[in-house]
Chains A and B, each alone.
Chain A
Amino acid sequence: MKVLVAVKRVVDYNVKVRAKADGSDVDLNNVKMAINPFCEIAVEEAVRLKEAGVATEVVAVSVGPKACQEQLRTALALGADRAVQVEVDGMVEPLVVAKLLKGVVEKESPQLVILGKQSIDGDNNQTGQMLGALTNMAQGTFASEVKVDGDSVTVTREIDGGLQTVKLALPAIVTTDLRLNEPRYASLPNIMKAKKKPLDVFTAADLGVAVSTHVTQVKVEPPAERQAGVKVEDVATLVDKLKNEAKVIA
């Protein structure tokens, strides 16, 4: 079974992001970039499937500029067998990413596609679902457990009320939630070996996809700074403030 796993290059989760002075975007100048944490979980799950003898090949794919090859190398160091980059510059919205991934799915014919449920930059939470619709494949989103059994996969989903278990016919799409697994460290020998693993580059045109935009980013601004709190004398004052100032109780 071949597993395709998508990875995205995003700002490292440790970085405190800042908006550009003109409010046009987040300032990415000299900012540390990393593999999106949910994508890292996706890679780990794919590699575990391979180690368990379920998957025979793990292919990592990323849509982005040349620099996203760094994140593909990370995926290769974590255990993916080869990588595919779809080279696109500038901002690409989820629908276009999904279309490009569909192109890769058609080339690779994987039995399972694993994606992060969302990326920590855009927080869109759309790509996996859109890919499911475009490819007409079953989807199990927000996975906290994935079990492949013959020609089906059982996915435990983290939903608002608790857990929901769905059984999907393969080929299928899974998006990962935070508790699915704890990604390993890429060891130094594996980092060095990853340099030699194959990495193919395609353009959007190669996949027959036009990079279009449907959404315009109007403005990026930092959240308002929180006002300092106040200490109240007694419960009566608190209730009064909650009623009349904050107006959160009647």
Chain B
Amino acid sequence: MSLDFDSARMYNPNITESHIAWRDQLRRFMENEVIPYVEEWEEACELPLSLWPKAAEIGLLGMGYPEEFGGIKEGIDVWHSWIVNEELARVGAGGVGASLMVHGIGLPPVINFARPEVKQAVAPKVLAGEAWISLGITEPSGGSDVANLQTTARREGNEYVVSGSKTFITGGMRANWVSTAVRTGGPGPGGVSMLLIPTDAPGFSRTPLNKKQGWWASDTATLYFDEVRVPVTNLIGEENQGFKVIMHNFNSERMGMAAQMEAYGRVCLEDAVIWARERKTFGKRLADHQVIRHKVSAMKQKLNATQAYIRACYEQIEMGQPNAADIALLKVQASEVMEFCAREAMQILGGAGYLRGNRIERIYREVRVNAIGGGSEEIMRDLAARQYQL
């Protein structure tokens, strides 16, 4: 029994030999290709383009996507996804996973709802790491209130003409396409459509949003659409049925974030324990002071509960019965635990944790993006209450 990243993961009977093999390879990949360069990429505010083909090569980008587009689906289950999210989190820089895997929110609308020729044009390149796709929902006028978005697409012959703006778009500076929520009809959710907008279309422009609290390695952007003409065949799903497409994404995005947040908490535990065992104060190890021992136990206790909750939700998804309310609250559970662990680890590390260049300092700065992005804690609680028909 110990408290390192792997030992602090509770037993899961669903894990088989192929899951273990996948984790081993992924860990080797992260340790050789990612972790040594994290600081450099954070300062550069972007990842090198060469990272995507490498990630495609080991099967990371294509995991869970159909074989016909270069993905791997057969035999892949939720436990492979959990492992990916854990290993991304273990890097200790959220911007890396957010940017590298942003197709995880941008591509599913295309795969699930776009026309076959559009899928064929987009998916193989994205899954090979040769082109990039982002998701454009949030606008300068509001994020959580998707039903009232203001970017419009008016129909002219065989084209939509798009006007408006999107912001906080992960991967937005690099994207070749953006799966974009636009208003094609009247007010409210019934007037929203999803449209695949190529970023080389005339009238499209973008500016970087680099000055962020965390996720530095992730290129975030504001996108501008000035009378951008897009063929109607780029519609994702039916016209004015975009809300359904958007909702379809949410469960897997929230599960992924929850799994990462728990793992960030575990990174905090691991690094805090290493430090508490080494550092001596008042003639004994930090780990021998009762106040520190209780902090460590409290972290582990909350992580255990979150792991059990994640597993329960994943098991339901695996049975084909995802519970949206429980998943929404899981995201809240996970962000609260990440926040708690980041706080307590920072208290244990003290000044050493406050200096840049360690995982705790970065994770501490990245609590909020996890507690807000992908559905804020407030929206999640509200959604759950509605789902439970309060």
Q: Interface residues, chain A, CB within 8 Å of chain B?
A: 32, 34, 70, 73-74, 77, 185-192, 194-195
Q: 30 pairs across A/B with beta carbons < 8 Å?
A: A70-B17, A70-B20, A73-B17, A73-B21, A74-B21, A74-B24, A185-B25, A185-B58, A186-B21, A186-B25, A186-B58, A187-B25, A187-B57, A187-B58, A187-B59, A188-B22, A188-B60, A188-B72, A188-B76, A189-B59, A189-B62, A190-B59, A191-B18, A191-B22, A192-B18, A192-B75, A192-B76, A194-B21, A195-B18, A195-B75
- C-alpha spacing A117/B311, complex, angstroms: 43
Cβ-defined contact, B20 with A188, below 8 A: no
Q: Report the separation of the CA atoms of residues A190 and B75 in the bound assembly, to the nearest whole angstrom.
A: 12
> What residues on A are CB-neighbors of B72 within 8 Å?
188-189, 192
Contacts known (A70-B17, A73-B17, A185-B57); A191 close to B6, Cβ less than 8 A:
no
Given the known interface contacts A32-B6, A34-B24, A70-B17, the answer about A188 and B74 at a Cβ–Cβ threshold of 8 Å is no
Enumerate chain A residues within 8 angstroms of B29, measured Cβ to Cβ. Answer: 185
Chain B interface residue number, banded: 20 to 34
Chain B residues, CB < 8 A from A187: 25, 57-59
The distance in angstroms between the C-alpha atoms of A84 and B101, with both chains bound, is 38
Across the interface, which residues of A come within 8 angstroms of B28, CB to CB? 185
Asked if A191 meets B74 with Cβ closer than 8 Å, knowing A32-B6, A70-B17, A70-B20, the reply is no
Chain B residue with Cβ nearest A34: B24
Residue of B nearest to A70 (CB): B17
Residue B80, interface by CB 8 Å? yes
Q: A228 to nearest B CB, angstroms?
A: 14
Collect the chain A residues with CB atoms within 8 Å of residue B20's CB: 70
B57 touches A188 (CB 8 A): no
Instruction: List 6 A-B pairs, minimum CB-CB distance, nearest first.
Output: A188-B59, A187-B59, A189-B72, A185-B58, A192-B75, A187-B58
Bound together, the chains give a CA A73 to CA B25 distance in angstroms of 13
| Nearest-Cβ distance from residue B122 to partner chain A, whole angstroms | 21
Tell me, yes or no, whether B63 is within 8 Å of chain A by CB.
yes
CB distance from B81 to the nearest CB of A (A): 11
Q: Which residues of B contact A194 (CB under 8 A)?
A: 21
A32 to B28 CA separation, bound complex (whole angstroms): 14
Choose among A34, A186, A194 the residue with the greatest number of B CB atoms under 10 Å from its CB.
A186
Tell me which of A77, A186, A189 has the highest count of chain B C-beta atoms within 10 A of its own C-beta. A189
Q: A189 contacts which chain B residues (CB < 8 A)?
A: 59, 62, 72
Separation of A188 and B80 alpha carbons in the complex (Å): 10
Report the minimum CB–CB distance from B376 to chain A (whole Å). Answer: 33
Query: CA A188 – CA B72 in complex, angstroms?
Result: 8
A32: chain B residues at CB < 8 Å are 6
Looking across the interface, which residue of chain A has its beta carbon closest to that of B6?
A32
Decide: B74 and A192 in contact? CB cutoff 8 A: yes
> Min CB distance, B301 to chain A, in Å?
21
Residues of chain B with a CB closer than 8 A to A192's CB: 18, 72, 74-76
The answer for the CA separation of A195 and B21 in the assembled complex, in Å, is 11
- Complex formed: what's the CA distance from A70 to B15 in Å? 14
1/0 contact trace for B17-44 toward A, CB 8 Å? 1101110110011000000000000000
A32 to B58, CA, bound (A): 22
Q: In whole angstroms, how far apart are the Cα atoms of A239 and B6 in the complex?
A: 48
Which residue of chain A has the shortest Cβ distance to B21 in the bound complex? A191
Nearest-CB residue, chain B, relative to A191: B21
Contact call B6/A188, Cβ cutoff below 8 A: no
- New contact pairs (18) apart from A74-B21, A188-B25, CB-CB < 8 Å: A70-B21, A73-B21, A77-B21, A77-B25, A185-B28, A185-B57, A185-B58, A186-B21, A187-B59, A188-B58, A188-B59, A188-B63, A188-B76, A191-B18, A191-B59, A192-B72, A192-B74, A195-B17
Q: Which residue of B lies closest to A190 (CB)?
A: B59
Within 8 A of A (CB), among B181-218: none
Report the minimum CB–CB distance from A214 to chain B (whole Å): 34
**Closest approach, in angstroms, between the C-beta of A26 and any C-beta of chain B?**
17
Complex: A77 Cα to B17 Cα, angstroms? 12
Distance between B337 CB and nearest chain A CB, rounded to angstroms: 25
Residues of the A chain whose Cβ atoms lie less than 8 Å from the Cβ of B80: 188
Chain A: which residue is nearest B70 at the CB level? Answer: A189
Q: How far is B28's CA from A73's CA once the two chains are assembled, in angstroms?
A: 17
Residues of A within 8 Å of B60, CB to CB, are 188
Chain A residue nearest in CB terms to B32: A185
When distances are taken between beta carbons in the complex, the residues of chain B under 8 Å from A191 are 18, 21-22, 25, 59
Residues of B within 8 A of A34 (CB): 24
Q: What residues of chain A lie closer than 8 Å to B24, measured between beta carbons?
A: 34, 74
* Of A32, A188, A194, A195, most B-chain CB atoms within 10 Å: A188
Inter-chain contacts of A195 with B (CB < 8 A) = 17-18, 75
Nearest-neighbour CB distance to chain A for B19, whole angstroms, equals: 9
Min Cβ gap B265→A in Å is: 22
Question: How far, in Å, is B49 (CB) from chain A's closest CB?
Answer: 19
